[in-house]
Chains A and B, each alone.
Chain A
């Protein structure tokens, strides 16, 4: 079987970058059949959806901004409904290099169930960003014995059949941790793939309040079955 691939990209006001991200995604990959790119326009007001459609993606629109977790949830369900065998999550702002896509997918073709990218935490990333990510990884390891040095990197690939064990509820940035915790409980092992680290000054990702919320949720998940 040559598996099909769906790349799910949540996007909120990324009209300026989404087309170049879509253009950089390889049209063909060794061992992969058809590739479809799905963009979830998460309540954008800058024409992100139209730009993504121009870039050749299947575009679904959230009428209001729900958050990255909810957008990826919608996109993953869409990918499964379209018949995708492998699903990849990728950011819309270019911080997940499309060039690393084959390296992320190859372990799945070799028999693994799921792969997660890991970044190198170094300057020019802000110290707070580096500390926050390392701290959350440390807490996750302490609470769940889950060894992933970059629990907040959402550049991930998995077989569609793993979806029932991954299905997260968090609509915000906590989805990345919830995905790991749920899969850990479902017996899924993530293969870690180091990727090229791209950091933009216009970073819109996890902030301090998100970090505190993720921490609170990690403790809650630990205390609940």
Chain B
């Protein structure tokens, strides 16, 4: 009987592959995103099903099992994705703020009673 961790990893990989496909069908990302993420989930499924042939690779990289190696790689990928998401959110926030502020300033009356003018000759303050 395979270890529980392998079974859970397999189920997780299959579920994420399906959700990625659903996301693609809903136009949440393009074909590039679909291919990238399906490769990631497929690789996860593979290492959980057939761990043995890859054992030399795991040993060479200092991991006890290939699944351990996959977990380390997953953490690296997750950190990268988190960083990229952070950068994207910051950029979107700045753009949104700029847009909202530009729209607000466009409402400013350019003539009329709201205009201010100093009275008398201009001097330095």
Q: Which residues of B, 94-125, contact A by the 8 Å Cβ criterion? A: 96-97, 100-101, 103-105, 107-109, 114-123, 125
A residues near B109, Cβ cutoff 8 Å: 58
Instruction: Give the nearest-CB partner of B120 in chain A.
Output: A1
Please, how many angstroms separate the alpha-carbon atoms of A72 and B66 in the complex? 55
Q: Are B121 and A1 in contact (CB under 8 A)?
A: yes
Report the separation of the CA atoms of residues A6 and B96 in the bound assembly, to the nearest whole angstrom.
26
Q: Are A1 and B97 in contact, CB atoms less than 8 angstroms apart?
A: no
B residues within 8 A CB of A54? none
Asked if B114 and A74 make an inter-chain contact with CB atoms under 8 angstroms apart, the answer reads no
User: A70 on the interface (CB 8 Å rule)?
Assistant: yes
**Chain A: number of interface residues, binned into ranges:** 20 to 34
A171 contact set on B, CB distance < 8 A: 97
Q: Do B118 and A61 touch across chains, with their CB atoms under 8 A apart?
A: no
Q: Tell whether, in the assembled complex, residue B100 and residue A62 are in contact, meaning their CB atoms are under 8 Å apart.
A: yes
Whole-angstrom CA separation of A65 from B31 in the bound complex: 35
Residue of A nearest to B125 (CB): A159
The contact of B116 among A4, A73, A77, by CB within 8 Å, is A4
Q: In the assembled complex, how far is the CB of residue B7 from the closest CB belonging to chain A, in whole angstroms?
A: 41
Pair B115/A60 contact, Cβ less than 8 Å: no
A4, B118: Cβ atoms closer than 8 Å: yes
Is A66 touching B97 in the complex (CB atoms < 8 A)?
Answer: yes
Picked from B107, B114, B118, B121, the residue with its CB within 8 Å of the CB of A36 is B114
Contact partner of B108 (CB less than 8 A), chosen from A3, A63, A64, A81, is A81
Bits for A33-55, please: 1 = Cβ < 8 Å to B, else 0.
11010001000000000000000
Distance to closest chain A CB from B47 (angstroms): 39
CA distance A134 to B109 in the complex (A): 41
B101 contacts A84, C-beta separation under 8 Å = no
Kindly state the separation between the CA atoms of A3 and B115 in the bound complex, as whole angstroms: 13
| Chain A to chain B contacts (Cβ below 8 Å), 18 pairs | A1-B119, A1-B122, A33-B116, A34-B116, A40-B104, A59-B107, A62-B104, A63-B103, A64-B100, A66-B97, A66-B100, A70-B100, A70-B101, A74-B101, A78-B104, A83-B116, A85-B125, A108-B125
